[in-house]
Amino acid sequence: MHAAVHAAPATRLLLSGNEAVARAAWEAGVRVAAAYPGTPSTEILECLAAYPDLHAQWSTNEKVALEVAIGASLAGSRALAAMKHVGVNVASDALMTQTLLGARGGLVLAVADDVGMSSSQNEQDSRFWGRFAHLPVLEPADAEEAYAYTREAFALSERFETPVILRLTTRVCHVKGLVTVGAREAVPARGFERDPARYVMVPAHARRRLPIMLEREARLAEHAEASPLNRLEDGADRRVGFVVSGPAYLAVREAFPEAPVLKLGLSHPLPVGLARRLAEKAERVVVVEETEPLVEQELRAAGLEVTGKAVLPRMGELSADVVGRAVRAWLGEPVEEHARPAPVIFPRPPTMCPACPHLGVFFTLSRLRNVIISGDIGCYTLGAGHPWNALDTTICMGASLSVALGLDKGRGEQDRGRHVVAVIGDSTFLHMGMQGLLDIVYNRGDVTVLILDNRAVGMTGGQDHPGTGRDARGEEAPRVDFAALVRALGVPAERVHEVDPYELPTLFRTLRAEIKRGGPSVIITNRPCVLIDAYRPTPPLRVDEARCTGCGNCLDVGCPAILVTRRERAVKPSGKEVELAFVRIESLACTGCNLCVGTCAPDAIVPMEGRA
């Protein structure tokens, strides 16, 4: 993963876009980098943490990460903050003021948009933040440009004293390309210069910064017209000219190799003059952009006759096939049907890992009656699926607790007998959940909170956080005591419990007792994620076929290591017809957690002989 760390200058490497951003940031002399993990941006900080001569850290959330980078910039050092698109919503409070202060040391915000929502709760176009905050937006199309644009972003930031948004997409972040790397610049910290009129944003100071910000944006607009990041490419096929940004450029070039193109690398402020020159070269102009029609609307507002989303999809990635078929159909040209339809892939819904400590939690929650369960963002969002069906809401990071309080305070007569439970992971609790718990305590909410402490940001690959005892480099760090923390937030000590999620009877009794008592309470589960080094597997299990009755209770745990071998119909003594499911356990996946053992009445699940 970190092949670029020790690569000598002029070495040609196969890098992902995220690795290229990290290498370029290091070469640009970055001294501080901060991030919160989130697909597809996670690897930027993971790679930067491998460089020994800069400070790289996981922060508790994206706002904190950006604020750390802002502080470093104010100290005159180059700094980078990285996050996925929804993280900018969290960081926006700091961002919207920093646009007034500007940057001192180069300040770059690398934002990765999950176009197509492979692992996100929504699809956003982060280019809006450039318009909203009056900041330049750079859009690389591949890994090589991700490297070059990152270097350019720091230069641009210091030249115009502005934060710069580097907008990436999943395809740029994760697809690899050849990159020729350079050497690290010596960029010493310039030191903090006291300037309250610039750095203390009371209203009087902020009002004086507004004209400076707008004047900066005007200069950036002039720069965009001449920047080599924006280029006009001539072409012999002048039926259509394309204005295109980001990785969609590659799709256009493949579908229409002879068409004139305005490629936008610096897409905000928009180089309208270049777009006018393109319009003079082509009969018609199509704007190709993922996902929102920002450029299209700006060009129309400037008086240019263009089309875009009337022809092209407004959601998801734009491939050469999608662009080519859509534009040719719009031109009235024949579009051939696909000779062979895309193969139907056997659907495999996402699920939790074998022995995941969350399995026991959702197995238990699925057996409670008269509960409303408020969920959060993380692996445990999968608890909404089969076989548990144990989540009723999921909104955004940290929302489970606040939403649970709202469900409690807003309940009508029809919900009087129902208990409210909130489920949240350890990292998410530190990210944005603590305030929600404080709000529950302060407002005397009747909510039982489950903090699923698996000592990792599991959903994004097991990164560390202040609850793991390790930092971004994997070195020992102070570890949060979750029980002490929730007591400090006001939860009565006798209402705070730590429970082994593999001990199903204890978990069930504790949960049922707490929701019946009323008032705020917290149950902390304490088993590590099965994918991190802290997890200790035990000998795998097997099914004794002679004892298995086919009841299928073990399937309700939801462990992917349990496989159905055959199904049969049977009639009970009561006359009721039932379906039996006989199973086996995949020993290579089983870690011997014993969750399924607790559900097996005939004791048919036993340790595998001879396996350590």
Q: Which domains are delineated in the chain?
A: 11-191+198-226 (3.40.50.970), 230-331 (3.40.50.920), 357-525 (3.40.50.970), 541-607 (3.30.70.20)
Q: Is the pLDDT of residue 1 over 60?
A: no
Share of the chain above pLDDT 70, in %: 98
Given the structure tokens 């919900």, which residue do they identify?
415
pLDDT of residue 5: 87
Q: What is the pLDDT of residues 153-204, one digit of tens each?
A: 999 999 999 999 999 999 999 999 999 999 999 999 999 999 999 999 999 9
Using pLDDT thresholds of 50, 70 and 90, give the confidence band for residue 612.
Answer: very low
Give CA–CA dist 85/39, Å, rounded: 9
* Cβ neighbours, 10 Å, residue 211: 9
**Cβ within 8 Å of residue 490, ≥6 positions away:** 438, 441, 442, 520
Annotated binding site: 548, 551, 554, 559, 590, 593, 596, 600
Give CA–CA dist 87/397, Å, rounded: 9
Averaged pLDDT for residues 472-479? 95
Averaged pLDDT for residues 295-308? 97
Q: What is the pLDDT of residues 213-225, one digit of tens each?
A: 999 999 999 999 9
Q: Chain-wide mean pLDDT for the chain?
A: 95
pLDDT of residue 350: 80
Given the structure tokens 């700091």, which residue do they identify?
94
Q: What is the pLDDT of residues 586-597, one digit of tens each?
A: 999 999 999 999
Tokens of 118: 């492979």
Tokens of 580: 């039996």
Averaged pLDDT for residues 257-273? 97
3-state SS assignment for residue 450: strand
pLDDT of residue 164: 98
| CB burial of residue 202 (10 Å; 0-12, 13-18, 19+) | exposed
Q: Is the pLDDT of residue 390 over 80?
A: yes
Tokens of 420: 């409210």
Instruction: Average the pLDDT over each of 81-90, 337-346, 433-442, 559-568 and give the range with the smallest value.
Output: 337-346
140 CA to centre of own chain: 19
Averaged pLDDT for residues 56-84? 97
| CB burial of residue 247 (10 Å; 0-12, 13-18, 19+) | buried
Tokens of 234: 């001539």
Bridge partners (DSSP) of residue 522 are 449, 496
Q: Is the pLDDT of residue 312 over 90?
A: yes
pLDDT of residue 335: 87
* Cβ neighbours, 10 Å, residue 268: 28
Residue scoring higher pLDDT (2 or 53): 53
pTM of the full predicted structure? 0.93
Residue scoring higher pLDDT (351 or 112): 112
Q: How far apart are the first and last CA of the chain?
A: 31
Annotated binding site for [4Fe-4S] cluster: 548, 551, 554, 559, 590, 593, 596, 600
